[in-house]
Amino acid sequence: MQRSPSEPNRTPWALCPPGHGSCEASVGRVLPGSSMLFLCDMQEKFRHVVYFRQIVSVAARMLKVARLLSVPTVLTEQYPQVWAPRCRAGRPGPPAILKTCFSMVPAVQQELDARPQLRSVLLCGVETQACILQTALDLLDRGLQVHVVVDACTSRSQVDRLVALSRLRQSGAFLSTSEGLIFQLVGDATHPQFKEIQKLVKEPSPDSGLLGLFQDQNPLFR
């Protein structure tokens, strides 16, 4: 059906990878062979951030799943001369990539360019309104899907966290829980790694204050 001349040319929220001529609306499917895990700036000096211990625990679980499913992972540290290196609770992990930009993307450009099959990035870390938001916007600009792991992201201020999550959704990022993404990645109970992954999700994620952010009366998520 042809669009009328008066109708605006709207493009749906879509995945349009570089080099692909078509642009199809995305439902946010996550597959191990076309995904990466980003771990952003979980460093010692952020220990005072609200729910930091809980989000590090969830991020560590995401890292274990990524290893089981051969999902590549990148980890950054923000200006460690000032903010100290990564939190010990997050070890062991991939070698840290140092950065000064709030976005992870300039620092991990080489890793992104080396994976032309990449379609989705799973994003964990701190702080939601700063490095997480700016990383997500840069990835969306590249035509990639961004899945913000909401139980693995936090901020010093829960107002900043709330508004940043709303802003991320407005910009086209998907808000997902760690367990939802894990089951998307494994896909099938007959997967050879399913029993190991089942052990990891046997206990629910620790409470990180999300219920208060997503209550029905919250106008930012209506």
Residues 6+ positions from 125 with CB-CB distance below 8 Å: 38, 39, 40, 41, 42, 55, 59, 131, 132, 152, 153
Q: Out of 40, 87, 99, 138, which one is annotated catalytic?
A: 99
Q: Which residues face 73 on adjacent strands? A: 37
Backbone angles phi, psi at 80, to 5 degrees: -65, -20
147 closest CA partner among 31, 20, 60: 31
Told to judge if 131 belongs to the known catalytic residues of this protein, a careful annotator would answer: yes
Q: Out of 41, 87, 124, 138, which one is annotated catalytic?
A: 41
Q: Out of 40, 87, 124, 131, which one is annotated catalytic?
A: 131
Told to judge if 188 belongs to the known catalytic residues of this protein, a careful annotator would answer: no
Q: Please, is 71 exposed, middle or buried when counting C-beta atoms within 10 Å of its C-beta (0-12, 13-18, 19+)?
A: buried
Element of type H or E holding 96: strand 96-99
Q: CA of 141: how far to CAs of 12, 37, 46, in Å?
A: 14, 18, 28
Told to judge if 41 belongs to the known catalytic residues of this protein, a careful annotator would answer: yes
Active site residues: 41, 99, 131
